[in-house]
């Protein structure tokens, strides 16, 4: 490990270097920024071959390097996903408006940020790429501080750090832990004011938290639920936008932000956005710009670069092209290094509460491939190839209600399962009918066809699995005997799950006030980031499901906090 | 220019063949041509020809009215959906000189819309 950061820090910013936490120091050293390119490229003239050598050995004095005219560069290579802002002449600006705060993106973090800034007295504009507020999911959570012990909250922080393979910023996790109860309750209240369909489910849905708090310690939650499906947080955010609009937030729909406006010192002064007629508009911010434009799952080059594992998976969202990444990068921000955290789920094909039940599981070839106690949220790691592309099926027989009754999770009866079966007539309730994907059949061959896997292999797999069940020893994958239940009695059931990309949750380096830091670790005046575009909150290979609804809970919380914070700055 | 010739030629051919061709298989360039719509209504008069964006389509097709017109579509009204409301990019489904496509099917595999 090089000591490059320390050197650089003590040279550029000696007073700050002492305060830098491990997370921030590491992202400054390894992250992607314009500055990291300049220093790395300066190491040698030979380009790629030497660029990989220890960054720390390079002196910080940068030889003049020709930066690509159009794109950002990493290690000497041009990266198409970081297009340099084009020059837009003042003559081409159709209108200019000034607000205290400009929020970019009306999703799970942006709408709360806009409303909270407005409630704190700021004038606010929210620019939105799509035709209305858009977001996904149902559940967003926070810690109920009033009914939790501090030692338990700290134990939760510790657990989330471990979930994140210890790569996240504990300060940001604490920021969520100690503010989320208030923020999520506020969000629920304001969604209701807008006529939205939302409730606080408390600690009940939080099955993953058992055993975290020490004996006798209390750990409780505010769990907001926008639903049931097909109602989602998207609808919830549209209700929240109504409340915000009433409070005076100005929304500009079909108006994607294109670039940031900065002065010579690097201070961010505003945003240039484009309407559908091709015209450009300036939105000047007296106090600050909050970027909340979400992830980059629809930007293929960017995904290939930061998470090559995603190559073959389908996406769940549209229009998430990582616009905020390019904007923050060119403003001097630092993107977390390669190895971003992904979220691939399917809670819709069958009951969510059965997704982690360790029934027999087969891939598209009809073959067993894993110890089925691996959670649904991690299954994608076994299905990265082009052929399987995230598809697998859970399989069980007519006796599942008795055989699996002691397993963790919650079983749906055969009657209830019909709600998830496209072949069953009648109206479906509480599900997305078009993506529900559960099947029933009287023979194994027939079931295999419905699950779109090879019938011959499938029958052989079931035969082998039944033998292992009988033996009580899983010699193929080491699953415990108590989880080995045979597939013998018709009708047979299958839930065909498709792991698709829900979101990517790594982003740009920010401090605990959600302010963007430059490559020297210094705050960029006027620039803030919330939601999945913000870094430091995750770090593992996959998003953790310990706290159900952590992602939306963090988005609401940081939106709420950042809105208030920026509104409180001097104009 | 080759593309242009192909378009002109195939348009002329299909007009001759028009009466025998089922309307469902017709490309949108012919549908528009039949209604007397000029190339310039979409592409503008400038040279080189402007690329056509959704803005052009909605100058003639009011999205609210369109959504009303197709409100009974089963299983769902593509022109008013939960992702983009009435403002989906027309060109993600409708093509003009090529066969149109169903932009929902990749994520909603059982929705077999036939896009004119
Ligand atoms: C199907 C599904 C289910 C999920 N379920 C859950 C759940 O139950 N619980 C949970 O915690 N998490 C869930 N998630 C994850 C959660 O939805 C996201 O983490 C969260 O929405 C991220 O919020 P965000 O504000 O960062 O981005 P988003 O909510 O995606 O909002 C970003 C917004 O920015 C806009 N935008 C993009 N570019 C620009 C631009 N250039 N200018 C202006 N606007 C722009 C977009 O149109 C979008 O509306 C789910 C995700 C999916 C896909």
- Strand segments, DSSP code E, in A382-472 are 391-396, 438-441
Question: CA A526 to CA A515: how far, in whole Å?
Answer: 8
- The pLDDT score that the predictor gives to residue A499 is 98
Question: CA A278 to CA A138: how far, in whole Å?
Answer: 35
At A20, phi and psi to the nearest 5?
Answer: -60, 125
Look at A433 and B75 and tell me if their CB atoms are within 8 Å.
Answer: yes
Tell which atom from ligand 1 comes closest to the C-alpha of A559. Answer: 25
| A240 plus A335 within the same structural domain | yes
Q: Tell me the CB-side half-sphere exposure of residue B116, using CA atoms within 13 A.
A: 9
pLDDT, one tens digit per residue, over A309-361 is: 999 999 999 999 999 999 999 999 999 999 999 999 999 999 999 999 999 99
- Other residues' Cβ atoms within 10 Å of the Cβ of residue A387: 10
| A418 plus A515 within the same structural domain | no
Q: Any idea of the CA torsion for A174, A179, A180, A186, to the nearest 10 degrees?
A: -170
Look at A132 and B55 and tell me if their CB atoms are within 8 Å.
Answer: no
* Residue labelled with tokens 């510790």: A158
Has residue A228 been placed in a domain?
Answer: yes
| A339 plus A427 within the same structural domain | no
- The pLDDT score that the predictor gives to residue B46 is 87
Cβ–ligand 1 contact at A257 (below 6 Å): yes
Question: CA A289 to CA A327: how far, in whole Å?
Answer: 11
List the domain range (segments joined by +) for residue A469: 347-498
Global pTM reads 0.92
| A156 plus A242 within the same structural domain | yes
- Chain A, nearest residue to B86 by Cα: A131
Where residue A487 sits, what CATH number does that domain have? 3.90.700.10
| A210 plus A333 within the same structural domain | yes
- What size, in residues, is chain B? 116
Has residue A99 been placed in a domain?
Answer: yes
| A167 plus A292 within the same structural domain | yes
DSSP A123-182: -EEEE-SSSS-----SEEEEE-GGGS-HHHHHHHHHHHHHHTTT-S-HHHHHHHHHHHHH
Q: Tell me the CB-side half-sphere exposure of residue A340, using CA atoms within 13 A.
A: 30
| A267 plus A134 within the same structural domain | yes
Look at B84 and A130 and tell me if their CB atoms are within 8 Å.
Answer: yes
pLDDT, one tens digit per residue, over B72-113 is: 999 999 999 999 999 999 999 999 999 999 999 999 999 999
At A141, phi and psi to the nearest 5?
Answer: -125, 155
At B99, phi and psi to the nearest 5?
Answer: -65, 135
**Total domains in the fold of chain A:** 2
Domain boundary among the residues A477, A498, A519 is at: A498
Q: If you compute the radius of gyration of chain A from its CA atoms, what whole number of angstroms results?
A: 25
Spatial neighbors of A548 by CB under 8 A, at least 6 apart, are: A139, A141, A205, A206, A207, A208, A223
| A282 plus A381 within the same structural domain | no
Determine the residue among A131, A278, A501 to mutate to test chain B binding: the one whose Cβ has the most chain B Cβ atoms within 10 Å. Answer: A131
Question: In Å, how far are A99, A256, A344 from A409, measured between CA atoms?
Answer: 49, 42, 19
Cβ–ligand 1 contact at A567 (below 6 Å): no
Where residue A516 sits, what CATH number does that domain have? 3.50.50.60
Which residues of chain A are within 8 Å of residue B85 when distances are taken between CB atoms?
Answer: 131-132
Tell which atom from ligand 1 comes closest to the C-alpha of A348. Answer: 1
Beta bridge partners of A21: none
- What size, in residues, is chain A? 571
Q: What is the DSSP letter of A366?
A: S
* Residue labelled with tokens 């575009």: A533
> Cβ distance B62 to B78 under 8 Å?
no
- Give the distance from residue B83's alpha carbon to the nearest chain A alpha carbon, in angstroms: 7
Q: Closest partner residue to B110 among A132, A277, A434, by Cβ?
A: A434
DSSP run (H or E) holding A225: strand A221-226
Structural domain spans, chain B: 2-106
Look at A131 and B106 and tell me if their CB atoms are within 8 Å.
Answer: no
Has residue A40 been placed in a domain?
Answer: no
Domain boundary among the residues A498, A524, A558 is at: A498
DSSP run (H or E) holding A447: helix A444-450
Has residue A551 been placed in a domain?
Answer: yes
Pairing assessment for the beta strands A139-143 and A438-441 based on DSSP bridges = unpaired
Question: CA B93 to CA A151: how far, in whole Å?
Answer: 55
Has residue A136 been placed in a domain?
Answer: yes
Q: Any idea of the CA torsion for A185, A190, A192, A198, to the nearest 10 degrees?
A: -40
Has residue A25 been placed in a domain?
Answer: no
**Crossing angle for the helix pair A110-119 and A550-567, to the nearest 10 degrees:** 30
DSSP run (H or E) holding A418: none
Cβ–ligand 1 contact at A299 (below 6 Å): no
CA A551 to the chain's CA centroid: 6
Question: CA A371 to CA A358: how far, in whole Å?
Answer: 8
| pLDDT of chain A, 571 residues: tens digit per residue | 344 444 444 444 444 445 789 999 999 999 999 876 554 443 333 333 223 222 223 333 333 333 445 788 887 778 889 989 999 999 999 999 999 999 999 999 999 999 999 999 999 999 999 999 999 999 999 999 999 999 999 999 999 999 999 999 999 999 999 999 999 999 999 999 999 999 999 999 999 999 999 999 999 999 999 999 999 999 999 999 999 999 999 999 999 999 999 999 999 999 999 999 999 999 999 999 999 999 999 999 999 999 999 999 999 999 999 999 999 999 999 999 999 999 999 999 999 999 999 999 999 999 999 999 999 999 999 999 999 999 999 999 999 999 999 999 999 999 999 999 999 999 999 999 999 999 999 999 999 999 999 999 999 999 999 999 999 999 999 999 999 999 999 999 999 999 999 999 999 999 999 999 999 999 999 999 999 999 999 999 999 999 999 999 999 999 999 999 999 999 8
User: Does a cis peptide bond (omega within 30 degrees of 0) precede residue A63?
Assistant: no
- Chain A, nearest residue to B111 by Cα: A434
| A422 plus A453 within the same structural domain | yes
Which residue's CA is the closest to the ligand 1 atom numbered 48? A107
Has residue A469 been placed in a domain?
Answer: yes
| A216 plus A306 within the same structural domain | yes
- Chain B, nearest residue to A238 by Cα: B82
- Other residues' Cβ atoms within 10 Å of the Cβ of residue A315: 17
| A552 plus A490 within the same structural domain | no
Which residues of chain B are within 8 Å of residue A500 when distances are taken between CB atoms?
Answer: 107
| A123 plus A269 within the same structural domain | yes
Domain boundary among the residues A452, A468, A498 is at: A498
Has residue A219 been placed in a domain?
Answer: yes
Q: What is the best residue among A102, A137, A226, A318 to mutate for testing ligand 1's pocket, by most ligand atoms within 8 Å of CB?
A: A137
Q: Any idea of the CA torsion for A44, A47, A50, A51, to the nearest 10 degrees?
A: 90
């Amino acid at each position: 490990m090089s000591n490059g950061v320390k050197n650089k820090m003590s040279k550029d910013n000696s007073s700050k270097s002492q305060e830098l936490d491990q997370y921030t120091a590491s992202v400054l050293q390894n992250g992607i920024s314009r500055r990291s390119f300049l220093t790395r490229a300066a190491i040698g003239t030979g380009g790629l071959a030497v660029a990989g050598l220890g960054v720390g050995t390079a002196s910080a004095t940068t030889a003049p390097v020709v930066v690509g005219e159009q794109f950002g560069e990493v290690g000497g290579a041009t990266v198409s996903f970081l297009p340099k802002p084009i020059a837009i002449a003042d003559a081409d600006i159709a209108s200019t408006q000034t607000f205290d705060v400009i929020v970019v993106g009306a999703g799970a973090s942006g709408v709360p940020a806009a409303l909270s800034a407005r409630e704190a007295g700021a004038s606010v504009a929210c620019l939105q790429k799509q035709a209305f507020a858009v977001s996904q999911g149902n559940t967003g959570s926070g810690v109920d501080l009033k009914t939790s012990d501090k030692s338990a909250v700290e134990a939760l922080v510790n657990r989330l750090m471990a979930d994140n393979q210890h790569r996240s910023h504990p300060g940001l996790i604490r920021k969520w832990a100690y503010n989320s109860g208030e923020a999520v309750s506020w969000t629920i209240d304001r969604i209701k004011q807008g006529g939205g369909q939302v409730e606080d489910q408390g600690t009940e849905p939080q099955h993953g938290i058992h055993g975290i708090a020490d004996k006798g310690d209390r750990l409780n939650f505010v769990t907001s639920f926008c639903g049931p499906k097909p109602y989602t947080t998207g609808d919830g955010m549209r209700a929240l936008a109504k409340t915000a609009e009433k409070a005076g937030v100005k929304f500009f729909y079909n108006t994607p932000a294109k670039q940031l406006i900065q002065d010579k010192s690097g201070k961010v002064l505003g945003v240039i956005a484009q309407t559908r007629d091709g015209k450009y508009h300036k939105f000047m911010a007296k106090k600050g710009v909050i970027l909340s434009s979400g992830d980059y799952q629809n930007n293929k080059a960017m995904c290939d670069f930061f998470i090559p594992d995603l190559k073959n998976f389908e996406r769940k969202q549209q229009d998430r092209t990582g616009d905020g990444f390019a904007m923050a990068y060119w403003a001097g921000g630092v993107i977390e290094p390669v190895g971003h955290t992904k979220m691939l789920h399917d809670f819709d094909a069958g009951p969510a509460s059965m997704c982690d039940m360790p029934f027999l599981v087969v891939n598209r070839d009809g073959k067993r491939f894993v110890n089925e106690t691996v959670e649904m949220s991690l299954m994608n790691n076994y299905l990265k190839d082009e052929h399987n592309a995230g598809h697998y099926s859970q399989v069980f027989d007519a006796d599942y209600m008795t055989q699996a009754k002691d397993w963790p999770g919650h079983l749906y009866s055969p009657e209830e399962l019909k709600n998830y079966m496209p072949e069953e007539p009648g109206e479906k309730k509480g599900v997305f009918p078009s993506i529900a994907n559960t099947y029933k059949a009287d023979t194994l061959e027939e079931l295999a066809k419905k699950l779109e896997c090879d019938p011959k292999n499938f029958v052989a797999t079931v035969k082998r699995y039944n033998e292992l069940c009988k033996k009580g020893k899983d010699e193929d994958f080491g699953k415990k005997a108590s989880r080995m239940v045979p597939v013998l009695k018709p009708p047979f059931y299958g839930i065909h799950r498709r792991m698709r990309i829900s979101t990517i949750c790594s982003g740009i380096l920010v401090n605990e006030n959600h302010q963007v830091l430059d490559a020297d670790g210094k705050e960029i005046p006027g620039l803030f980031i919330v939601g999945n575009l913000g870094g430091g909150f995750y770090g593992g290979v996959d998003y953790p499901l310990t706290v159900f609804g952590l992602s939306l809970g963090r988005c609401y919380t940081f939106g709420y906090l950042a809105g208030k914070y920026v509104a409180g700055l001097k104009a | 220019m080759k593309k242009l010739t192909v378009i002109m030629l195939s348009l002329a051919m299909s007009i001759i063949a028009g009466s025998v061709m089922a309307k469902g298989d017709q490309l949108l360039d012919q549908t528009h041509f039949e209604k007397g719509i000029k190339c310039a209504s979409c592409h503008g008069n400038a040279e080189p020809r402007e690329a056509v964006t959704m803005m052009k389509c909605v100058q003639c097709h009011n999205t609210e009215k369109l959504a009303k017109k197709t409100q009974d579509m089963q299983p769902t009204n593509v022109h008013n959906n939960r992702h983009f409301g009435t403002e989906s990019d027309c060109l993600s489904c409708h093509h003009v000189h090529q066969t149109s496509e169903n932009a929902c099917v990749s994520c909603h595999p059982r929705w077999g819309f036939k896009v004119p």
